[in-house]
Amino acid sequence: MHIIAVANQKGGCGKTTVAVNVAAALSKLGNETLLIDLDPQAHATFALGYSEGPSERKTAYDIFRAYFDSTDVPFEEIVITGRERFSFIPANMMLSAAEINLGEMNGAAAILSRTLSGSFFEKYEYVIIDSPPSFGFLTLNSMYVADRILIPLDLSYFSLNGINGVYRVKGLLKRETGRDPSVFFVMNLYERRSNFAKQLERDAKRMLGPYLFSTRIRSSVRLREAARLGKTIFEHDPGCSAAVDFRNLTNEVLAPGMENMDVVIREFLFHAPEAGSVYVLGDFNGWKKSEANRLSKLESGYWSGHFTLSRGRYRYKFLVDNEWIRDPENTAAETNVFGTVDSILTV
């Protein structure tokens, strides 16, 4: 079983659209697929044509409630099986109660993981989880159980800033639980003709390297229509550009060997509580001062940024309020052609 969590704390970047349509494409390709709506907003539930419905309908909330009450979960009553090879666990508002009741409980982040390891779920080849726009208890459950995390990025720099947040949560997950899912990114709401989109894509590529899927999901009114009609894009208009994009994305998701790419994600840290801006510039990003190379300020006074680097040897420096400074925490250094000293990083 492969489990893919779709997550991003940024709202409206396309998590639900990606989760629903990747799940639909996987099932069309012959895979027994389960989609779990883990967002109290229940947008995936609506997008598949189920209104929140009567409160007696069982939802993902019952998985958590059963854990809390130590009762058995009636999975047959929770899983909806209206579509071919495409099963679905709906959500409703009650999921936020799970967050409140269980968030503090020991081991609560592993509830979904324990559930999906039960024999009822053995038949599923792919499980896709739609997460809410936060890094709270529900998203932690989805990231904990996942072997891959798929992050949609919309065309705003807020999206790129959010990437550091993703890696921080991933670091926390690894430290606290030992779980280390791989993270992949996909650009959504892509505007082909926009220069801004092209620039942002170049920056995203530099930051994310091969972890950015080459498929871009273009903006398409068909996707909005499909969600409103309660249909997947393949049910609504299988020939439209968005359907093509989702087929391509799904093929990339299925590509073998993605976990073994020879690249390293490296965090750069610089302590400067008073600084107004800190960039890291080096051979790996063309020494180009751009938004993608700007570090984010942490509460500790450190500035932090994650970069995807191929193996090799790099020169770099920090640009702190327009002043070049070598990395004080790295003793490896070398004089450059300008007669000043660069820090050296070998990965």
Task: Identify which of 96, 72, 88 has the alpha carbon closest to the alpha carbon of residue 34.
Answer: 88
Q: Which 241-300 residues touch ligand ATP, going by CB under 6 A?
A: none
Q: Report phi then psi at 193, rounded to 5.
A: -90, 0
> Could you give the CA distance from residue 26 to residue 32 in angstroms, rounded to a whole number?
8
Q: Quick one: what does residue 217 bind among Mg ion, ligand ATP, none, with the CB cut-off 5 to 8 Å set by partner type?
A: ligand ATP
Choose the binding region for ligand ATP from 10-18, 30-38, 107-115, 333-341 (rule: CB under 6 A): 10-18
In whole angstroms, what is the distance from residue 14 CA to residue 259 CA?
24
Single out the residue of 183, 344, 187 nearest to residue 265, CA to CA: 183
**How many residues form the binding site for ligand ATP (CB under 6 A)?**
19
Beta bridge partners of 316: 282, 343
Give 27 or 219: the residue with its C-beta nearer to ligand ATP: 219
Among candidate residues 65, 209, 63, the one with its CA nearest the CA of residue 145: 63
Query: Which residues ranging from 196 to 225 are in contact with ligand ATP (CB under 6 A)?
Result: 217, 219-220, 223-224
**Both structure tokens of 194:** 């926009």
Q: How far is the CB of 293 from Mg ion (least distance, A)?
A: 30
The reply on whether position 45 binds ligand ATP by CB under 6 A is no
Interface characters, 144-183, with ligand ATP (x: CB under 6 A):
----------------------------------------
- Asked if residue 166 lies in contact with residue 153, where contact means CB atoms within 8 angstroms, the answer is no
**By rule CB under 5 A, what string of x and - marks binding of each residue 21-60 to Mg ion?**
----------------------x-----------------
From the CB of 222, what's the least distance to ligand ATP, in Å?
8
Residue 300 corresponds to which tokens in the numbers above?
A: 């500790």
Strands 323-325 and 333-335: unpaired
The answer to the question of residue 15 lying near ligand ATP (CB under 6 A) is yes
Separation in Å, CA 141 to CA 7, 41, 111, 144: 11, 17, 7, 5
**Is 16 near Mg ion (CB under 5 A)?**
yes
Q: Is 142 in the site for Mg ion (CB under 5 A)?
A: no
- Residue 220's binding partner among Mg ion, ligand ATP, none (Cβ under 5 to 8 angstroms by kind) is ligand ATP
CA dihedral (128, 134, 138, 144) positive or negative: positive
16 makes contact with ligand ATP (CB under 6 A): yes
CB closer to ligand ATP out of 45 and 285: 45
Neighbours of 106 (CB within 10 A): 6
Residue from the set 45, 159, 188, 215 that interacts with ligand ATP by CB under 6 A: 188
Element holding 149 (H helix, E strand): strand 148-153
Residues in contact with Mg ion by CB under 5 A are 15-16, 43
Q: Residue numbers of the site for ligand ATP (CB under 6 A)?
A: 11-17, 39, 41, 43, 133, 188-189, 217, 219-220, 223-224, 227
